[in-house]
Amino acid sequence: MAKRFILNETSYHGKGAVQEITSEVRSRGFKKALIVTDADLVRFNVVKKVTDILDAAKMPYEIFDEVKANPSVAVVKAGVEAFKKSGADYMIAVGGGSPQDTAKAIGIIINNSEFSDVVSLEGVAPTKNKSVPVIAVATTAGTAAETTINYVITDEDKRRKFVCVDPHDIPVVAIVDPEMMSSMPKGLTAATGMDALTHAIEGYTTLGAWELADTLNLKAIELISRSLRQAVENEPQGREDMALGQYVTGMAFSNVGLGVVHGMAHPLSAFYDTPHGVANAVLLPYVMEFNAPYTGEKFREIARAMGVKGVDEMTPEQYRQAAIESVKRLSKDVGIPQTLKEIGVKREDLEALAEAAMADVCTGGNPRPCSRELVLEVYKTAFGE
């Protein structure tokens, strides 16, 4: 069976990569941008790094800064109206996963108006037309939304997040400039970094995994595990390695899928507005323990990529535990909470969370078959006492 791999048309990496926006706008003949971002990134002058470049080149734009964490159906609809009113012909998404996902949904709906309700985009929607062109400027090293064909929207009315998978939504240009990420506070750097590690580990062990994606995900695990601690301390090399690592796994997991860490994390954001990276980071080691017997020799290679020595002399039980302990140690070192109770999850919600996790599209890719009862047990273990 043929295996598909979809990537950005163009991506730029390294310090100063953001300067390439103008060359791409000129070469593609774009006329006016709608910048999709959030108010905090405007307030802290992160967006100004982009608008200064556009201003110097006399390239027109308007700003839509109503994006919130875990963007909702209402935010997407507001963005669609803003795009229509602006007269723009392309978007520049500036931010982490929330602005990127919002821009993807806006761009798809503008060119596929039959999906204007937003919720009908859930899953693999049969869109016919490519999104409005998006230049995606990443400001976090975590979601890799600038290179994926996925986006996640919150249906606030039903207290649920839904995943959309659409080859038509991938940004035409990705800008991965570590200098755009230098203002991230420690907590956000840690959470988004652990999100990237979750992508790499889930992408490596998902049912859809294959050799090309495996190569990318193992390299991403190596990059992330060696650089996240330094990135949290805002060391330049750590920032640069994290920017690359999160993009490398984005190329992979976008094409092979994820697993029940994401399936369980999405309801946490829908129920409690938990930041996505935090939800993944807390759940990752518990799900690894759950999945370990169903992963063959892959945990050996995860342990090796994370710097564990002597894995070839270990039994499967030993190298699986070594991989899990390496993840736990990294998580603790960068200040991630260790239980669901610590991040405000309520015990009385666990059964409803398990129901929601079973309905999530990511859960189907998990290497160990899941049931509501099994997922509930993982939630209970992760809840802590």
CATH number of the domain to which 105 belongs: 3.40.50.1970
Q: Locate tokens 């950005």: which residue?
A: 8
What's the alpha-carbon Rg for the chain, to the nearest Å? 20
Half-sphere exposure of 30 (CA within 13 A, CB side): 27
Return the pLDDT at 158.
87
SS3 label, residue 67? coil
SS3 label, residue 158? helix
Last residue of a domain, one of 181, 203, 228: 181
Return the pLDDT at 206.
98
| Closest-CA residue to 284 (of 205, 166, 198) | 198
Residue 136 sits in the same domain as residue 195: no
Residue 131 sits in the same domain as residue 68: yes
**What residue numbers bound the domain in which 241 lies?**
186-383
- Establish if 241 belongs to a structural domain: yes
- Establish if 198 belongs to a structural domain: yes
Give residue-wise pLDDT tens across range 241-279: 999 999 999 999 999 999 999 999 999 999 999 999 999
Q: What are phi and psi of 143, to 5 degrees?
A: -75, -30
Q: Which pairs from 42-49 meet CB under 8 Å and 24+ separation?
A: 44/183, 46/94, 46/139, 46/180, 46/183, 47/94, 49/18, 49/179, 49/180
Q: Locate tokens 């798809």: which residue?
A: 108
How far apart, in whole angstroms, are the C-alpha atoms of residue 163 and residue 347? 25
Residue 102 sits in the same domain as residue 228: no
SS3 label, residue 317? helix
The pTM of this model reads 0.94
How many structural domains compose the chain?
2
Residue 253 sits in the same domain as residue 222: yes
Residue 51 sits in the same domain as residue 153: yes
pLDDT per position in the chain (385 positions), as tens? 799 999 999 999 999 999 999 999 999 999 999 999 999 999 999 999 999 999 999 999 999 999 998 899 999 999 999 999 999 999 999 999 999 999 999 999 999 999 999 999 999 999 999 999 999 999 999 899 999 999 999 998 888 889 999 999 999 999 999 999 988 899 999 999 999 999 999 999 999 999 999 999 999 999 999 999 999 999 999 999 999 999 999 999 999 999 999 999 999 999 999 999 999 999 999 999 999 999 999 999 999 999 999 999 999 999 999 999 999 999 999 999 999 999 999 999 999 999 999 999 999 999 999 999 999 999 999 999 6
How far apart, in whole angstroms, are the C-alpha atoms of residue 39 and residue 37? 7
Return the pLDDT at 183.
85
- Establish if 309 belongs to a structural domain: yes
Question: Could you tell me the two tokens for 197?
Answer: 């590690």
- Establish if 305 belongs to a structural domain: yes
Residue 225 sits in the same domain as residue 170: no
SS3 label, residue 162? strand
Residue 22 sits in the same domain as residue 141: yes
Q: Could you count the other beta carbons within 10 Å of the beta carbon of residue 20?
A: 17
Last residue of a domain, one of 181, 210, 226: 181
* Beta strands per DSSP E along the chain: 10-13, 33-36, 61-64, 90-95, 134-138, 150-155, 160-165, 173-176
Last residue of a domain, one of 113, 147, 181: 181
Residue 196 sits in the same domain as residue 110: no
Residue 102 sits in the same domain as residue 229: no
Return the pLDDT at 184.
87
Q: What are phi and psi of 173, to 5 degrees?
A: -135, 135
| Closest-CA residue to 270 (of 158, 160, 119) | 160
Residue 161 sits in the same domain as residue 206: no
- Establish if 2 belongs to a structural domain: no
Residue 199 sits in the same domain as residue 271: yes
The 8-class DSSP code of residue 209 comes to: -
How far apart, in whole angstroms, are the C-alpha atoms of residue 24 and residue 131? 17
Burial class (CB in 10 A: 0-12, 13-18, 19+), 125: middle
- 34 forms beta bridges with 62, 91
- Establish if 368 belongs to a structural domain: yes
Crossing angle of helices 186-205 and 316-333, in 10° steps, is 160
- Please answer whether residues 339 and 384 qualify as being in contact, where contact means their C-beta atoms are separated by less than 8 angstroms: yes
- Please answer whether residues 92 and 22 qualify as being in contact, where contact means their C-beta atoms are separated by less than 8 angstroms: no
- Establish if 5 belongs to a structural domain: no
CATH number at residue 196: 1.20.1090.10
Residue 191 sits in the same domain as residue 60: no
How far apart, in whole angstroms, are the C-alpha atoms of residue 273 and residue 63? 25
Q: Could you count the other beta carbons within 10 Å of the beta carbon of residue 297?
A: 11
How far apart, in whole angstroms, are the C-alpha atoms of residue 124 and residue 100? 18
- Establish if 1 belongs to a structural domain: no
Q: What are phi and psi of 232, to 5 degrees?
A: -60, -30
